[in-house]
Homo-oligomer: A and B are copies of this chain.
């Protein structure tokens, strides 16, 4: 059902995806999607949670027990791998996240929390990095962490909007390079 929802969101966008169509695409009746998820917003929330769980899996295996600059690089790499492995997931996640920028939007809270968590993670890695000497000590962990997350989010957005306009691999490589350059003590 979630898979059907992902496909339909990619084909038609959220507005033109109907609960009936999702149910029927998954081989059920028109009413099942509403029945299971309560509402369209509920279904989208479930889709976001499902994809987020997959992403956290990628992140955890990649970062492991690393800290400091190594953790930041590993996370950026994991993200790059996730984007190339599961482009559908990342597309849908961003469609739903960004739609959540709308006030009162049902997903705003989840989206907000996800970004807050990512920034907090990055901040922790940087702080640890300063402590163990792998990151220079004259930067603000909070500001740098925000820049880090913002940069990835922005690049992803532009890439999603127009994949051909931007060589994701190239940008990614350059990002990793300037990242370690800026953080190096």
Contacts and interface: CB of A to CB of B under 8 A. Distances in A.
Main SS at interface, chain A: helix
A86 interface: no
A149 B154 contact: yes
B157 A101 contact: yes
Interface in A25-45: none
Q: How many copies does the complex hold?
A: 2
A123 B10 CA distance: 31
Contacts of A165: 112, 115-116, 119
A127 B116 CA distance: 36
Interface in A132-180: 140, 143, 146-147, 149-155, 157-158, 160-162, 165-166, 170-171, 174-175, 178
A151 B156 CA distance: 11
A93 to B, nearest CB: 10
B151 A150 contact: yes
Contacts of A155: 146-147, 150, 154
A9 interface: yes
Contacts of A94: 101
How big is chain A's contact interface, by range?
A: 35 or more
Interface in A9-62: 9-16
Contacts of A151: 147, 150-151, 154
Contacts of A100: 161
Contacts of A149: 154, 158
A1 interface: no
A153 B150 CA distance: 8
Given A11-B103, A102-B14, A170-B143, A157 B153 contact: yes
